[in-house]
Structure 1
Amino acid sequence: MRIASFADHPLGPTEKISCANKMFYLNQYHLVDLYVVLPVIYSVICAVGLTGNTAVIYVILKAPKMKTVTNMFILNLAIADDLFTLVLPISIAEHLLHYWPFGEVLCKIILSIDHYNIFSSIYFLTVMSVDRYLVVVSTVRSKRMPYRTYRAAKIVSLCVWLLVILIVVPFTVFAEVYISPDDERKSCVLSFPSPEGSWFKATRIYTLILGFAIPVSTICILYTMMLYKLRNMRLNTNAKALDKAKKKVTVMVFIVLAVCLFCWTPFHLSTIVALTTDLKSTPLVIGISYFITSLSYANSCLNPFLYAFLDDSFRKAFKKMLECRTA
């Protein structure tokens, strides 16, 4: 339902469009193959995402040794991704049916969750980056962090959930079922007051600033400062480098962040292009729009594999859980 776009047409980067509009563009530009390919791609993302994120949630909740501050943030990130992949089948159904059959209440819920996914991943990664920075600073200064507790991580996570809910409220308010006057086809869309074009541009800027510019700038500043402090620590002091465990966690957070930016940066860059250029809706542009959207969806299923490859404790805990289940 979320479609990235370089061009100024209904396939906007932050507003939702109807399946009727999707099929109009597919038929107009002879991209009917996408009608088959997209549900397959979305189904794979849904299956892999649900399986992987549910496994992450299960391991962190059940394994006592996994209850750390970083894992609390990973848990909430997995819950957010799981919630999104859980409702993805509804988007697949809408795509295949060519109309919205689920009513207005579910329309508001689905659009809210879809937009929630845009903000939640980057905000939890921002919090994880802040946490990594504080850990590095405390290690460089050889100081303890009594306030960095599992309980404090729970409170911070709750605040992130509430903040993102607040950010998504405007999309929830404007979400509604639209009935086409031509064929009475129902669509789940964002319906803005007049002038609609200005409102659509406002939502693009709103999402770009709050969902990308501010959190990514914060993360870049934090990691730049973190690398600077680590460099000075090696050059100017006799202090030991970060211990092996802390370095591994920091590397894992950095790689998860890099993958997130890889998946989401094209989506947000399409907003900049849409706001600053007047590209026409060609088959190539439409195809790229769907590719970018699929890439942003894919981020919801990649993180569990990163944890499995990068975190020994996660692998061991998951293996132990499997052994207990099969015993």
Structure 2
Amino acid sequence: MENFTNYNINCSIDDSFKYNLYGAVYSVVFILGLITNCASLCVFCFRMKMHNETAIYMTNLAVSDLLFVFTLPFKIFYNFNRHWPFGDTLCKISGTAFLTNIYGSMLFLTCISVDRFLAIVYPFRSRTIRTRRNSAIVCAGVWILVLSGGISASLFSTTNKSTTSTTCFEGFSKNIWKTYLSKITMFIEVVGFLIPLLLNLTCSSLVLRTLRKPATLCQIGTNKEKVLKMIIVHIAIFVVCFVPYNSILFLYALVRSQAIANCAVERFARTMYPITLCIATTNCCFDPFVYYFTSKSFQKSFNINPLIKMDTLFKVDSSAKVAFPATQEELTEQININNGGDLIPESNFKD
């Protein structure tokens, strides 16, 4: 007990820099996120003629981003003024939107990664699984999961009033951290971060292994590099935005609940937590890059000649769901992977 008392007295930490940092970053994220995600959602809803499985996941990801972006003006006001005048209910909604965006984004990105893995590694066996109906069911499950976790954590994001100001989503007591928040945090870390991270890395590595096979190289031709770039963009966003934040959050929960009672560790965690959180919130600005590199229809909707073109060389018979090459010359030059989609065995191209 004496050690804990001395620890509390001697370990003074000033993390007030976070308010200006949050305010500045949230302002940029609000502007960029609002523009890019509104444009993306308009494309998905009004300009894309076909909504395949991947498009359904990307639409839900854009909705998750926008829900978070719409709460940012309140957070910007709060952090610049260090006062929350909007009431307890809006404080809870703001906290739920943040957690829903962070972990919803990771799960929807994972859905896209798994869908691409099934399309490339198991193109024929996955046909009965990769349907719009199943994609909608998966998205509904993701929403239920992230909203349940977000609401559970935000039950503690009540406003705390003092003589000079009102705070929101901070100032939790050590008792709350020990009894509730640390357990909720660990659950969210496992379900919302560790499992999606492992799935993303596993699916991407299996896709890369498939691309190294001689038969696969014969099928996709120069598109191998395009699929590789698609994977790099996807993994880069996941790793850069979410890995630092979740790694520090785990440590932050340990020091706040005093499972680790070390002043240097707590100082490090409380300094890095705001920085990594700001990096995590920028994911809603970068997600449109996933749409662009993953969906050919998304590129065409903007009438852009992209650096990476997913030119379709097949005419598809929708009733039979079998793709045929337009010409033998085009086939020799390049075989399309539609939206990171199905690979066609060489036997299909024989007369």
Normalised TM-score (structure 2) = 0.70
27, 32, 36: which one aligns with 1:48 = 32
**Aligned-partner Cα distance in 2 for 1:247–1:146:** 28
CA contact (8 A) 1:100 1:186 kept: yes
CA contact (8 A) 1:248 1:310 kept: no
164, 169, 184: which one aligns with 1:189 = 169
Match of 2:194 in 1: 213
**Aligned-partner Cα distance in 2 for 1:200–1:130:** 31
> How far apart are residue 246 of structure 1 and its match?
9.4
Amino acid at match of 2:43: V
CA contact (8 A) 1:249 1:311 kept: no
Match of 1:259 in 2: 237
Amino acid at match of 1:262: V
CA contact (8 A) 2:118 2:126 kept: no
Deviations 1:142-174 (A, max 9, x none): 557144223332222122111222222311332
- Alignment pair present for 1:173 and 2:166: no
25, 44, 64: which one aligns with 1:80 = 64
> How far apart are residue 123 of structure 1 and its match?
0.6
Listed as ranges, the gaps of 5+ residues in structure 2 are 1-6, 255-259, 305-351
**Aligned-partner Cα distance in 2 for 1:163–1:197:** 22
> How far apart are residue 244 of structure 1 and its match?
7.1
Amino acid at match of 1:263: C
106, 130, 143: which one aligns with 1:148 = 130
CA contact (8 A) 1:176 1:188 kept: yes
Cα distance 1:162–1:48, how it changes in 2: closer, same or farther (>3 A)? same
**Aligned-partner Cα distance in 1 for 2:58–2:104:** 12
Amino acid at match of 1:215: P
**Aligned-partner Cα distance in 2 for 1:194–1:295:** 26
Provide the alpha-carbon RMSD of the alignment. Answer: 3.3
Q: Secondary structure at the match of 2:286?
A: helix
**Aligned-partner Cα distance in 2 for 1:239–1:162:** 40
CA contact (8 A) 1:175 1:191 kept: no
Q: Secondary structure at the match of 2:159?
A: strand
> How far apart are residue 224 of structure 1 and its match?
2.7
> How far apart are residue 75 of structure 1 and its match?
0.9
Match of 1:291 in 2: 275
Greater RCO (CA < 8 Å, at least 6 residues apart): 1
> How far apart are residue 71 of structure 1 and its match?
1.4
Cα distance 1:243–1:174, how it changes in 2: closer, same or farther (>3 A)? farther
**Higher mean displacement: 191-200 or 58-67:** 191-200
125, 128, 132: which one aligns with 2:116 = 132
Matched-pair identity in %: 28
> How far apart are residue 279 of structure 1 and its match?
4.3
* Rg comparison, structure with higher value: 2
**Aligned-partner Cα distance in 1 for 2:174–2:266:** 27
Cα distance 1:313–1:243, how it changes in 2: closer, same or farther (>3 A)? farther
Deviations 1:87-132 (A, max 9, x none): 1111111112212111111111111111111210111111112211
Deviations 1:209-235 (A, max 9, x none): 12211211122222233333443x42x
Aligned ranges for residues 299-310 of structure 1 at < 5 Å?
A: 299-308=283-292
**Aligned-partner Cα distance in 1 for 2:85–2:169:** 13
> How far apart are residue 248 of structure 1 and its match?
4.6
CA contact (8 A) 1:69 1:149 kept: yes
**Aligned-partner Cα distance in 1 for 2:78–2:216:** 62
**Aligned-partner Cα distance in 2 for 1:100–1:258:** 35
Q: Secondary structure at the match of 2:168?
A: strand
Amino acid at match of 1:210: V
**Aligned-partner Cα distance in 2 for 1:47–1:94:** 17
> How far apart are residue 177 of structure 1 and its match?
1.9
Amino acid at match of 1:114: F
Amino acid at match of 1:50: L
- Alignment pair present for 1:224 and 2:208: no
Higher-helix-fraction structure: 1
CA contact (8 A) 1:42 1:92 kept: yes
